[in-house]
């Protein structure tokens, strides 16, 4: 199966699961399926075929068992269920991804962060990212975690920031030539 086919199959199952998540208040992002596919698909382009295949197996196994990994992720985010996976690789992955996220937020605050926020509110954005990331990682199998960690270590070895690459892919698909162009545009829009 090609990388594009793996991503397509993953997005199909994820979207199916995402639409079934029930929350106390309806989420506007559940109505924006194009945005969901854009953001998730952009992230998956940075994954190796091996990691994509592992994660697709996770999704297929969960579906076969009647589990919804998206429901589990959001339940973990709200602390409604106990830890799903305490694999120590989760902390290692988070350390890498949090540094990448901080770098991108500092470099492109209009693209990633909300520049109007100051102090604790801005830190809450990072805390939300950390909670989301940990909750998602806990839904991955140990095989997927190991393969994903291997992908991240390869990126670190190549001095790549996969968070930046993901945002660049998202904004390219939105018509911008680069993140710098998107940053300048969003800064002008905020200044109006």
**How much is the average pLDDT of 48-56?**
98
Q: How far apart are CA 29 and CA 34, in angstroms?
A: 9
Compare 22 and 109 and report the one with higher pLDDT. Answer: 109
Could you state, in order of their start, the residue ranges of all structural domains in the chain? 3-191
Report CA torsion sign: 137, 141, 147, 153. Answer: positive
> Mean pLDDT in the chain?
91
What pTM, to 2 d.p., does this model score? 0.89
Query: If we measure between CA atoms, which residue out of 126, 125, 79, 108 comes closest to residue 170?
Result: 108
| pLDDT value for 192 | 74
What average pLDDT does this structure show over 70-96?
A: 96
What is the band of 27 on the pLDDT scale with cuts at 50, 70, 90? Answer: low
Q: What pLDDT is stored for residue 77 in this prediction?
A: 92
What is the per-residue pLDDT for 126? 86
Residues 112-137 have pLDDT tens digits of: 875 444 443 444 678 989 999 999 99
pLDDT for residue 148: 98
């Amino acid at each position: 199966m090609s990388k594009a086919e793996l991503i397509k199959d993953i997005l199909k199952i994820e979207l199916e699961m995402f639409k079934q998540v029930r929350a106390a208040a309806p989420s506007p992002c559940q109505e924006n399926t194009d945005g969901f596919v854009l953001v998730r698909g952009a992230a998956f382009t940075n994954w190796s075929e091996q990691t994509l295949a592992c994660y697709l197996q996770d999704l297929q196994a969960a579906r076969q068992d009647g589990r919804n990994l998206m429901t589990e992720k959001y339940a973990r985010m709200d602390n409604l269920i106990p830890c799903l996976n305490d694999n120590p690789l989760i902390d290692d992955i988070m350390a890498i991804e949090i540094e990448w996220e901080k770098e991108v937020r500092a470099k492109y605050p209009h693209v990633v962060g909300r520049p109007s926020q100051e102090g604790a509110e801005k830190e809450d954005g990072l805390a939300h990212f950390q909670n989301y990331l940990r909750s998602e990682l806990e839904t991955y199998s140990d095989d997927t975690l190991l393969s994903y960690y291997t992908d991240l270590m390869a990126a670190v070895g190549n001095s790549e920031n996969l968070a930046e690459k993901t945002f660049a892919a998202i904004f390219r698909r939105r018509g911008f030539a680069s993140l710098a162009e998107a940053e300048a545009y969003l800064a002008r829009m905020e200044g109006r």
